[in-house]
Amino acid sequence: MTLNPEQLLTFSPLHRLQWEEVQQKTVILYPEGMVELNQSSAEILKLCDGTRHLAQLVQELETTFETSGLTADITAFLEVALDNGWITQN
Amino acid sequence: MAGLLKTNTPPRWLLAELTYACPLQCPYCSNPLDYTKYKSELSTDDWKRVLTEARKMGAVQLGFSGGEPLTRPDLVELVQHARDLGYYSNLITSGYGLTEEKIMQLKTAGLDHIQVSIQASSQELNDHIAGTASFEHKQNVARLVKKHGYPMVLCVVIHRENIHQMPEILAMAEALGADYLELANTQYYGWAHLNRDLLLPTKEQFETAEAIAQAYKEKVAGKMKIYYVVPDFYENRPKACMNGWATTFLTIAPDGVALPCHSARDLPNFDCPNVNDFSVSDIWHDSKAFNFFRGFEWMQEPCRSCDEKEKDFGGCRCQAYLLTGDASATDPVCSKSPQHYVVDELIATARTSALSSNEKPLVFRNSKNAGRRLSD
Ligand code: SF4
Ligand code: SF4
């Protein structure tokens, strides 16, 4: 599956994104499984709430972290996320 | 010593076996052969306390299983409590007795996912293996689970009686719209150990079925995830059982006995602590049972000096015990085990049984057979 830059990004309703206090990490929970996220992946996924497409998401993160040139990294991660079913488009 | 042990990793996965009661009679059931001996069940408040304590330690995945967890009248209440604590809760059910109303109540209470087991792709075989007419109902439950927005996981336990249905099982799962299909090759503990000669497929059957499942995986990529749980009898290395003893998994049996693995109750002279007597934290960190096979100190040769021990932890303790009589032995599935011949022999015995025309019948999991086993 390839990412469509025109379409909105939504975190999958079949997964749950949650902060775990004991591990001090954000995790993705799904049937009988769990993925631990690093901080940047967690920040990206939190913005996948069905209101932004790729460019908007990149821009927002670049503003928050006062940096630029994140497009390639974010796109690569979102493709992994899409492949794993963590996010959906349309 | 107790102080030092606090560096243990915390439990991540809590399996709450709410009850041994079950309307089905699967001949591969992982419940103990003498399950009727354990009549007492934890109260609602005890379960709530256990969930609270384990969550505080870091457990996040929670499985409600049994037996059939739906037979507990307080299931919805426990699900609600789990949701309040932030667990991701999985209901592991035969689907028997699950109504649309219950599915909706559980959803409101915060249940995350329902795993429905189906025994085969045809009514006749399903009802035979389950020991109960349940095929139509299970299919219906699977559809309702989906309808109410749960991720739908179908679980089919694979063995010699149904392995030939692999193509039909895959097609059935796809037609039902499963998000995940778990093809769980039988693990030979409990009742499955007893029925092994009748359940263990031949190597050819395994290989054919696996090739079909792997090909299908590609066909449905992006739509349905297929988990293929490999049987380790045909491998050269054992499975990394439980991700290492008492590192990740915690099982609580219906009567409150805490187990590092759901079969550990069958290990001899293995005094497993009960949550009625100790806190979950004390059990996890300080009990003898949970520390018994932690780390590598307990190992014998060839595991002790093996450079693969951090990969598979010497295999499964319950399998080592069931097949060699010694729970600290190298899992005999490993080709380095001096007792590996035991596995070759049991494969040969099952094969002979498969080819013979008068196999003994399966022993179904029910109270009559449990009672009979006890008086043997
Ligand atoms: S394996 Fe079958 S008999 Fe055993 S608890 Fe599950 S549904 Fe019941
Ligand atoms: S000898 Fe023990 S540690 Fe080494 S591969 Fe075999 S089971 Fe694993």
Each residue of B22-63: pLDDT tens digit?
888 888 888 888 888 888 999 999 999 999 999 999 999 999
Tell me, in angstroms, the distance from the centre of ligand 2 to residue B230's CA.
Answer: 18
Specify the residue for token string 């009686």. B161
**Å from B59 to nearest chain A CA?**
9
Is the C-beta atom of B337 inside 6 A of ligand 1?
Answer: no
Distance CA B76, CA B114 (A): 13
- Band the pLDDT of B7: cuts 50, 70, 90: low
Is B58 in CB contact (< 8 Å) with chain A?
Answer: yes
- Lowest pLDDT segment from B23-37, B59-73, B166-180, B284-298: B23-37
Angle between the N-to-C axes of helices A71-83 and A39-46, in degrees from 0 to 180, rounded to the nearest 10: 80
Query: Which of A25-29, B4-8, B200-204, B243-247 shows the lowest per-residue confidence on average (mean pLDDT)?
Result: B4-8
Cβ atoms B170, B6 nearer than 8 A: no
Helix, strand, coil percent content, chain A, rounded in steps of 5: 35, 25, 40
Which one of the ligands is nearest to B339 CA? 2
Query: Which chain B residue's Cα is nearest to A30?
Result: B88
* C-alpha span between A14 and B177 (Å, rounded): 14
Per-residue model confidence (pLDDT) at position B376: 43
The atom of ligand 2 lying closest to the CA of B312 is 8
Q: What is the largest CA-CA distance in chain A?
A: 38
Structure token digits, residue B327: 């729970």
pLDDT tens profile A42-68:
999 999 999 999 999 999 999 999 999
**Smallest CA–CA separation between B112 and chain A, in Å?**
8
**Closest residue by CA, ligand 2 atom 2:** B303
* CA-nearest residue, atom 1 of ligand 1: B29
The distance between the two most distant Cα atoms of chain B, rounded to a whole number of Å, is 60
Q: Which two tokens stand for residue A35?
A: 């993925």
* Beta-bridge mates of residue B116: B93, B154
Establish if B12 touches chain A: CB-CB under 8 angstroms.
yes
| Residue A66 at interface with chain B, using a CB cutoff of 8 Å | no
Three-state secondary structure readout of B218-258: HHCCCCCEEEEECCHHHCCCCCCHHHCCCCCEEEECCCCEE
Q: Tell me which residue has its CA closest to atom 7 in ligand 2.
A: B314
| Partner residue facing A29 (CB), from B60, B115, B180 | B60
Q: Does pLDDT of B2 surpass 90?
A: no
Q: For residue range B109-160, what is the model confidence (pLDDT) as tens digits?
A: 999 999 999 998 888 888 888 888 888 889 999 999 999 999 999 999 999 8
Does the beta carbon of B68 lie inside 6 Å of ligand 2? no
CB contact under 8 Å between B180 and A31, yes or no, is: yes
Q: Please, what is the end-to-end C-alpha distance for chain A in angstroms?
A: 13
* B225 with A85: Cβ contact below 8 A: yes
Asked if A24 reaches chain B (Cβ–Cβ under 8 Å), the answer is no
CB atoms within 10 A of CB A41: 19
User: Cα(B86)–Cα(B82) distance, rounded to whole angstroms?
Assistant: 6
The chain-wide mean pLDDT, for chain B, equals: 90
Q: Closest-lying ligand to the alpha carbon of B239?
A: 2
A32 interfaces chain B, CB cutoff of 8 Å: yes
Band of the pLDDT at B169, cuts 50, 70, 90?
very high
Residue with tokens 């050819």: B204
B218 touching A (Cβ < 8 Å): no
Question: Which residues of chain B does A31 touch, with a Cβ-Cβ cutoff of 8 Å?
Answer: 90, 112-113, 115, 151, 153, 179-180
Partner-chain residue, chosen from B58, B61, B149, that has the shortest CB–CB distance to A32: B61
Average pLDDT over residues B286-305: 92
B25 lines ligand 1 (CB under 6 A): yes
Q: What is B105-174 written as a DSSP string?
A: HHHHHT--EEEEE---SSHHHHHHHHTSS-HHHHHHHHHHHHHTT--EEEEEEE-TTTGGGHHHHHHHHH
Is residue A31 within 8 angstroms of chain B, CB to CB? Answer: yes
Structure-token match 């592991």, residue found: B92
- Min Cα distance B142 → chain A (Å) is 15
The C-alpha atoms of residue B142 and residue B153 are separated, in whole angstroms, by: 8
Q: What is the distance in angstroms between the Cα of B92 and the nearest Cα belonging to chain A?
A: 10
Q: Is the pTM of this model over 0.95?
A: no
Residues 6+ positions from B163 with CB-CB distance below 8 Å: B201, B205, B206, B209
* Residue B307: pLDDT over 60: yes
Residue B27 DSSP label: T
Task: Give the ranges where B183-326 is alpha helix by DSSP (H).
Answer: 190-194, 196-199, 203-219, 280-286, 288-292, 309-312, 317-324
- The partner residue sitting opposite B88, judged by closest CB among A13, A23, A29, is A29
Mutate to test the pocket of ligand 1, among B18, B35, B161, B365 (most ligand atoms within 8 A of CB): B365
Structure tokens at A43: 């920040």
Strand pairing partners for A34? A29
- For B193-198, the CB contacts below 8 A with 24+ separation are B193/B322, B194/B33, B194/B363, B194/B373, B195/B27, B195/B28, B195/B362, B195/B363, B196/B346, B196/B350, B197/B349, B197/B350, B197/B353, B197/B359, B197/B360, B198/B27, B198/B160, B198/B161, B198/B350, B198/B353, B198/B359, B198/B360, B198/B362
Pocket probe mutation, ligand 2, options B236, B296, B306, B342, max atoms within 8 Å of Cβ: B306
Say if residue B1's pLDDT is above 50.
no
A22 touching B (Cβ < 8 Å): yes
- Interchain pair B63, A22: CB under 8 A: no
Strands B258-259 and B249-252: antiparallel
Please give the Cα distance from B261 to B70 (Å, whole number).
22
